Structure 1
Amino acid sequence: MRGNDNMSRVKIGDVFKIEVSQGKAYFQYIYNDEVCGELIRILPEIYDSDFDDFSRLVKGNTKYLIHFPLKAAYNRNIVSFIANHDIPNSFSLPKYFRDDKRDKDGHLIAWQIVNYQTLQRETVDQLTEEQKKLSQWGTWNDTLLIERISEDWTLDDWV
């Protein structure tokens, strides 16, 4: 297993563990965007003890994707490297993400569909069923990531 030193490098396909109040959650590093940073796929379930069948886990569903400062979290020992696994053939990098636009009081004004390649945004008042499946645009820090995983947050909660 790699240590958290300067000689170590986080690699596409790496699976990491993060401790949450209910146990251990896992995610896989899937892409590095030059503008937004590391994109991770949150894997389903929280486990009471260490999980050992990562081949099966990474071949399964993706709960959602989010940008996360993975390299910094790894270097600060916030996350633990588990193993490197191929990204499933069924997975493809999404073309779009979604974001919400809110007023100063936090009320939803509209949704924005963000093109991941061009970063152009399209504002829509209502999401289509397909757009509701899009992951959130943005970057979460470790505190928010832990909070959302602990809450069993899903894209369905954000409509």
Structure 2
Amino acid sequence: MDDFFADLLTQRGWESVKKKSDGVVARHPLNVGYASLLLRVFPSSKTLALEASIGAGNANWDRIASKINGDRKTKEFALRYDTLVKKVDGHEISSEHVLPFLDECLKHAAAIDIDAEIDKYSANRPDFPFIPQIFHLAALAYLGQDRIISGYLDAFRRGKNMNFVPAITEAFIARAYDLALTQKEEVVVIPKLKVGDVFRVPLSTGVAHIQYIGKGKLFNSVVLVGPRISDSVEVVSPELFKGAYFIHYHVDAAIRAGLLSRVGQLPAPLLPLRWRRPLGGAEVNWSVDDTSGREVHKSELTQEEIDLPVGISLNHAMLLTFIEHGWRPEKFIKSRLSAFESPPDEPLIPLPGAVS
């Protein structure tokens, strides 16, 4: 069963899939971090139950919490874990049970507001136990609130532990203080994304443009990719998006990394309600949203289904490859390479596990 789960998780785009004694663990990138999952089965006399512990976090949070905790390597400190359960009639679990449940888990994780969770931990100092107190210190450091941590440090030096558990020593507080000072210098305030925002994408061959359309149902932002490549800066106009296509892309992360420039606003099309998603195999098969929103697996597509947007998620390197090599969704039917006007030498094509 664990091998079965691992295969389905990989197919659905989950990463770092590992089998453990209590189930299968995996991670999935989100627009502002990652989803963390523990998936297992509980049998009973009449039914089986799928149970998932699902949480969310981000790399910077993990780094700060790990350093405060004194870990040599960064560990995962998901901010919140919730339990989801799906009962299965009978005594056999199939992909028809698991795949929708995985999508539900991912949707749940994407709805966790990481910033709000960090704010909660920063505002409330629990009297116990150890991990919530580490999270309180990490939240203060993450937000650059060095003054509060400095107060804790002064109290420790006067022999008062401020109701921290004995395992949290002055060294923990000092590490949190140093991290808060660093964070305070590095915090970058980014204007909130607005539907219709247009961004310039620098390429090795010129510039292209994408438009922010909104959040997908599961995770990640949906953007409209303008295929037009210019060798100079152009006025923002609908002409930039002739022949454009929808894709999932980490807009927030790209802005923070300085990979995009916001250059204007245009009226935005509506978010697509239906998608087609590539499945595994040498020859691509598809999971297609039917008109009721259910997923149907197909090896052959109708013309109407070919016209649906392709639900794959791109990192920045993939986005550049898609634009520079003329990727077209209507040509992505059987072969991954056939979708490129000029196939890249090392195609950065997403593995199965697309989203919407």
TM-score (norm 1): 0.81
Q: Distance in 2 between matches of 1:94 and 1:8?
A: 25
CA-CA distance at 1:151 after TM superposition: 0.3
- Partner of 1:132 in structure 2? 306
Are residues 109 and 146 of structure 1, via their aligned partners in 2, closer, same or farther at CA, if it must alter by over 3 Å?
Answer: closer
- Indicate the larger mover: 74-83 or 7-16: 7-16
SS in 1 for 2:201: strand
Q: Which digits, 9 at most, give the CA deviation of each residue in 1:130-150, with x for residues without a partner? A: 111122112110000000000
- Aligned residue number for residue 51 of structure 1: 234
How many residue pairs end up in the alignment?
147
The one-letter code matched in structure 2 to 1:17 is R
Letter of the 1:63 partner, please give it. A
Instruction: Indicate the SS of the match to 2:255.
Output: helix
Q: Classify the secondary structure of the residue corresponding to 1:102.
A: coil
1:41 maps to which residue?
Answer: 224
* Identity within the alignment, %: 23
Cα offset, 1:63, TM superposition: 2.0
Q: Do 1:114 and 1:137's aligned partners in 2 also have CA atoms closer than 8 Å?
A: no
TM-score (norm 2): 0.38
Unaligned runs of 5+ in 1: none
Aligned structure 1 segments of 4 or more residues deviating by more than 3 angstroms: 114-118
Larger proportion of helix? 2
Q: Structure 1 residue aligned with 2:244, among 44, 51, 63?
A: 63
Between Structure 1 and Structure 2, whose CA radius of gyration is higher? 2
Residue identity in the other structure for 1:40: V
Distance 1:116 1:66 in 2: 20
Q: How many angstroms apart in 2 are the aligned matches of 1:117 and 1:47?
A: 40
Match of 2:287 in 1: 112
Greater shift, 71-80 or 4-13, is seen at 4-13
Shift of 1:102: 1.8
Deviation at 1:86, TM superposition (A): 1.9
CA distance in 2, matches of 1:138, 1:12: 20
Contact 2:198 2:211 (8 Å CA) reproduced? yes
C-alpha displacement at 1:21, in angstroms? 2.0
1:97 aligns with 275
Contact 1:95 1:115 in 2 (8 A): no
Match of 1:145 in 2: 319
Does residue 332 of structure 2 align to residue 154 of structure 1?
A: no
Structure 2 residues without counterparts, runs of 5 or longer: 1-186, 334-356
